[in-house]
A and B are shown apart, each in its own frame.
Chain A
Amino acid sequence: MLELRDVRKGYAGGRQVLSGLSYALAAGEYVAVMGESGVGKSTLLNLIAGLDVPDSGEIRIDGIAISSLDDDAATRLRRRRLGFVFQAFHVLPHLTLQQNVALPLLLNGVSVKHAEARTQDMLDAVGLHGKARQFPRQLSGGEMQRVAIARALVHRPALLLADEPTGNLDPDTARDILALMRAEIRENGASAMIVTHSRLAAETADRILVLTQAGLHSMEPSSAGGRAHP
């Protein structure tokens, strides 16, 4: 469902981060991408999200080349097919948990009634039952990330992109969140790509990919190398 064909991306100043990256992600597949800082992990996510444009090559989501769409079309595609989880949660402080989670549905034109029911289900699913009308400032970091996961999956995206989803969490909470995320991805039938430094996080994935200057290499979870998350 996600296809990367010979994607190249450099930055002003001549730093080449991705040089001829190709990869295909199957539907329902859950991969973790690891790699050293500055190797282009975040860049890769942004290119997939259509928030950045590759210098050359093609990125297709469900067969649509997002990299060649204009901003509005890319946004619409992103709105329908993608979900995001960030390291810093980025739950909107002035919206209730329910409103935060309902946002993608509303943006996709789902009726309020349906959106409410679905949102409620998602909040229940991530363990925030009964907190729908609370504001994010009353939550702990872990709870905040649960909201983010609910928001990322509420509209049943084809692909969930997560950037260091446990970077701001303690190990116990991180474990819970990873389990939840994995379960919900399965539950909602999404593919996922998690960019992380954390071995713990990476090991929850079906496959671990390592991004280097040379490209994306597969690595079985059992034999995953790299540094462990502290």
Chain B
Amino acid sequence: MQAMMLRRWLLWGEWRAHVPQAAAVVAAIALGVALGFAVHLINAAAYNEFAAAARSLSGESDLQVRGVQATLDETLYPFLAQRDGVRIANPVLELDIIVPAHANERRHGMLKVVGLDIFRAAAIAPDLVGIPEEDNLFDLLADDAIFLSPAAMEWLGVRRGDPLPLRRGTQVVTLRVAGGLARARAGQRLGVMDIGALQWRFRQLGRLSRVELQLLPGVDRDAFKAALVRDLDERHLVTQVSDQEARVANMSRAYRVNLNMLALVALFTGAFLVFSTQMLSVVRRRHQLALLRVLGFTRAQLLWQIALEGAILGTAGALLGLALGHAAAAAALDLFGGDLGGGFFSGIQPQIRFDPAAAGVFFLLGAGIAMLGSMAPAWEAARTHPAPALKPGSEDHAYARLASPWPALACLAAGGLFTQLPPVSGLPVFGYLAVALLLIGGIALMPRLAASAFSGLLSLAARRPLRVIPALALSRLANAPNQAAVALGGVLASFTLVAAMGIMVSSFRISVDEWLRHILPADLYVQTAAAGDTRGLTPAEAEMIAAAPGILRADFFRSTQLALDPARPGVTLIARPIDAADPAATLPMTGTTLPPAALPRDAIPVWVSEAMVDLYGHTPGKRITLPIGDAPRDFVVAGVWRDYGRQFGAIQMRLSDYRSLTRDPLVNDAALWLRADATAEDAMASLQRLPFGGVLDISARSRIRALSLDIFDRSFAVTYLLEAVAVIIGLLGVAAGFSAQTLARIREFGVLRHIGMTRRQILALLAAESGLLTALGIVLGFVLGGCISLILVFIVNPQSFHWTLQWHLPGQELAAVALALLLSASLTALAAGRRALADNAVRAVREDW
């Protein structure tokens, strides 16, 4: 009881005296927890909403049969409906259709329209049944009626009875809004119409997206599925709702994990701040703690006293962080949507739900990390012999043990080793561990590095007369490196993070920029619209485009989706003119490419993106079977190209091969080269004068490039936020470290004042010390960050997103951040020093405090 009371006195005494330090610790932990928790909440909300929306489209079906290609032949429907064990077979045609009025909204310009046979769907997907007016029940079957979810109505600005124009290829089909849906998820943009009408109106005769099956009670689903897979050829996939959820999860998993990792790094920086604050506090209270030991505090009591301080600060920070994270998540969802600009979840409106399990995890993480951070100082305090500790001038002993280089070197070595390990279930787990180890090792090595750096500087300086302030600053830094290193840690950690992220993002951006330059060789690009299932130019229309005035050459593209693995998002198949002898002329090739002579005659060459190598093992020279056309055919991988546009894989083949396999005459896009005497404006104008010119989306190369880079920047916006948070935490560390140290050095300043230093000189000394420290932190942070950026660029990115990048150093930007950090760290140190000097120098030298 008395012990508890004593503990409380000590805690309160400590914190009352050092409110800013305690507040900085709480704030740092809160920020780290808030970031992690917010990212988790946002992702969970978006994922759940997306999965629920996907599930609501599949209704209560047990199995779904899909085509590897976007659609499958409708004759499969009676085959499945009459199969033993099937209670209901529900044919579905699902199209993403461009809404002309919203065609310019990238990713959001499309309406998902589900074509249903209401008599089948009513039992299996009752939510999707349209609600017609009581007098117009036949609208459920009408070939011009569409039923819209509330979100779709709001987005399109239509009500029951309004006309709704939708695009089919270059034409416009106008439907009639006949009513709402039985039940749609909030924010889900969805239209439902009769399947026969959809097939007819949008030229999908004979095609289905999938057939959903509900089995009779008592039928073994797995056995049924296995038998069905045996009876269907490879052009078909039999999936369950769980596959679909896995696909949704796969779609954004790498992105989510990477964001969470960044949040953890922020939390780590926070932990470091706890460590440095507690360490300084222990050193500052050395006499007091030694006195407690003399008075009868046991070693364990002292240990727990310090650990408890950390735990309480951590708890407060973690709780605050949870509240902050929840609020931030809600705000971010409002501002940026469920993917934080990543573009994975669109057309849905996720809601934040409090997640007790995740909150518990992040709470423990925050509180635990704070406690861990104070363990080393606590241990140090407990094991100190009280008698020497009472002697003045012994402060730097406190840090001596931490300077042993072996654990740090072991961390660095392990980190180096981890970079050589493969990903774990598609995630760069070891890559991130290597990043963490490098960071820990680098920071732990700091005192030693600081000592040798400043000693070196000092001996360099000794050759020439040195002014007293720099001499004092250097002496202190060189001779009390452990104290210096603690304050340095914050700067180092944050600049390391900034450098690593900055280099990674800049490498990525420059790689993307170069890639865009390579894949956009033509002057103009024509699409019937941004994307969608219902686009396409007929051969006659393509002919007219190629013959338009000013056009020198026109390449046409056909792109479709292939679902090669039910648990993964689809692979894009692009058919275009490609010279097999020189694919690099059209594709940004990487690695070896098979020359035409090496291509087998009986297989069709395809060129795959890097993701196909990682995800499907499509290495160059490998023979693969792809379900393109009426029957699966043999193909050979003729080369690998770099693709930053499609994380889940893309395959390119020659348009002529594609057409002979599929007899699909449509094309989606065209790349146009202009005659020397033609201007882009004239060519665009003449294209727009074509009969279908109004629905053509014509862009100059520069505009596509700008648009792509804009999207890139938006999706990396969140990383900038994280960097900013890391810098703030780093500065908090500098502030806490310096103010604590300054307070601890109050006696030293008193002496200096007696000897004859002016206040300004002492402030200059502080500024010089912090400037030198920060500069060293920046230099080392740059080195460490550079190493980490290598891991991010060459390990984490390829393992997460299956693409390779070229390393690039954003020198100017980093220099600017470094300068800003240098200035703000010095200012922070000055502010802390002013406060310390406000105390009377007279009191400082007295022994009785």
A and B touching (Cβ–Cβ under 8 A): yes
Residues of A within 8 A of B (CB): 42, 46, 49, 51-52, 71-72, 75-76, 78-80, 82, 84, 86-96, 99, 103-104, 106-108, 111-113, 135-137, 151, 168
8 closest Cβ pairs, A-B complex: A79-B756, A93-B393, A106-B468, A94-B479, A94-B480, A90-B751, A88-B847, A112-B465
Contact between chains at A136 and B754 (CB < 8 Å): no
Cβ of A6 to closest chain B Cβ, rounded Å: 22
B476 CB-CB contact with A under 8 Å: yes
Residues of A within 8 A of B475 (CB): 94-96, 99
Total count of chain B residues near the partner, CB < 8 A: 36
Contact between chains at B842 and A107 (CB < 8 Å): no
Name the interface residues of B721-751: CB closer than 8 Å to any CB of A: 747-748, 750-751
Contact between chains at A104 and B755 (CB < 8 Å): yes
B748-781 contact mask (Cβ, 8 Å, vs A): 1 or 0 = 1011111111111100000000000000000000
Q: Which of B105-113, B151-159, B394-402 contacts A (4 or more CB under 8 A)?
A: B394-402
B131 CB-CB contact with A under 8 Å: no
Cβ of A17 to closest chain B Cβ, rounded Å: 13
Contact between chains at B465 and A88 (CB < 8 Å): no
Nearest B residue to A82 by beta-carbon distance?
A: B756
In the assembly, what is the distance between CA of A104 and CA of B751, in Å? 11
Residues of B within 8 A of A80 (CB): 756
Name the interface residues of B172-230: CB closer than 8 Å to any CB of A: none
8 extra A-B contacts, CB within 8 A, seeds A93-B392, A99-B471, A168-B847: A51-B842, A78-B756, A86-B754, A90-B392, A90-B748, A91-B393, A95-B475, A137-B394
Contact of A112 among B466, B761, B840, B847 (CB under 8 A): B466
Residues of B within 8 A of A168 (CB): 847
Query: Given that A51-B842, A106-B471, A135-B479 are contacting pairs, would A93 and B396 also be in contact in the complex, using a CB cutoff of 8 Å?
Result: yes
In the assembly, what is the distance between CA of A93 and CA of B747, in Å? 11
Cβ of A96 to closest chain B Cβ, rounded Å: 8
B841 CB-CB contact with A under 8 Å: yes
Contact between chains at B841 and A51 (CB < 8 Å): yes
For chains A and B in complex, what number of residue pairs have CB atoms within 8 angstroms?
Answer: 97
Main secondary structure of the interface of B (DSSP, over half): helix
B414 CB-CB contact with A under 8 Å: no
Contact between chains at A75 and B393 (CB < 8 Å): no
In the assembly, what is the distance between CA of A78 and CA of B842, in Å? 14
In the assembly, what is the distance between CA of A84 and CA of B465, in Å? 26
Nearest A residue to B760 by beta-carbon distance?
A: A72
Contact between chains at B845 and A90 (CB < 8 Å): yes
Nearest A residue to B464 by beta-carbon distance?
A: A112
Contact between chains at A46 and B842 (CB < 8 Å): yes
Residues of B within 8 A of A88 (CB): 392, 845, 847
B160-171 contact mask (Cβ, 8 Å, vs A): 1 or 0 = 000000000000
Contact between chains at A86 and B471 (CB < 8 Å): no
Name the interface residues of B757-811: CB closer than 8 Å to any CB of A: 757-761
Query: Given that A92-B748, A99-B475 are contacting pairs, would A78 and B754 also be in contact in the complex, using a CB cutoff of 8 Å?
Result: yes
11 contacts between A and B (CB under 8 A): A49-B754, A52-B842, A75-B757, A75-B758, A88-B392, A93-B392, A93-B395, A103-B468, A103-B472, A106-B467, A113-B465
In the assembly, what is the distance between CA of A52 and CA of B754, in Å? 12
Contact between chains at A84 and B755 (CB < 8 Å): yes
Residues of A within 8 A of B748 (CB): 90, 92
Cβ of A144 to closest chain B Cβ, rounded Å: 8
Cβ of A48 to closest chain B Cβ, rounded Å: 12
Of B393, B467, B750, B756, most buried by chain A (CB within 10 Å of CB) is: B756
Cβ of A46 to closest chain B Cβ, rounded Å: 5
Contact of B756 among A46, A52, A76, A89 (CB under 8 A): A76
Cβ of B95 to closest chain A Cβ, rounded Å: 74
Contact between chains at B754 and A51 (CB < 8 Å): yes
Residues of A within 8 A of B397 (CB): 137
Residues of B within 8 A of A107 (CB): 468, 755-757, 761
Query: Given that A111-B465, A136-B393 are contacting pairs, would A90 and B756 also be in contact in the complex, using a CB cutoff of 8 Å?
Result: no
Residues of B within 8 A of A42 (CB): 842, 846
Residues of A within 8 A of B755 (CB): 79, 84, 103-104, 107, 151
In the assembly, what is the distance between CA of A71 and CA of B752, in Å? 14
In the assembly, what is the distance between CA of A107 and CA of B846, in Å? 23
In the assembly, what is the distance between CA of A46 and CA of B760, in Å? 20
Residues of A within 8 A of B392 (CB): 88-90, 93
Contact between chains at B753 and A51 (CB < 8 Å): yes
Residues of A within 8 A of B394 (CB): 93, 137
In the assembly, what is the distance between CA of A118 and CA of B814, in Å? 47
Contact of A71 among B395, B467, B471, B758 (CB under 8 A): B758
Residues of B within 8 A of A95 (CB): 472, 475-476, 479
In the assembly, what is the distance between CA of A96 and CA of B475, in Å? 9
Residues of A within 8 A of B847 (CB): 87-88, 168
Contact between chains at A104 and B845 (CB < 8 Å): no
Residues of A within 8 A of B846 (CB): 42
In the assembly, what is the distance between CA of A103 and CA of B394, in Å? 21
B827-849 contact mask (Cβ, 8 Å, vs A): 1 or 0 = 00000000000001110011100
Cβ of B400 to closest chain A Cβ, rounded Å: 11
Cβ of A47 to closest chain B Cβ, rounded Å: 10
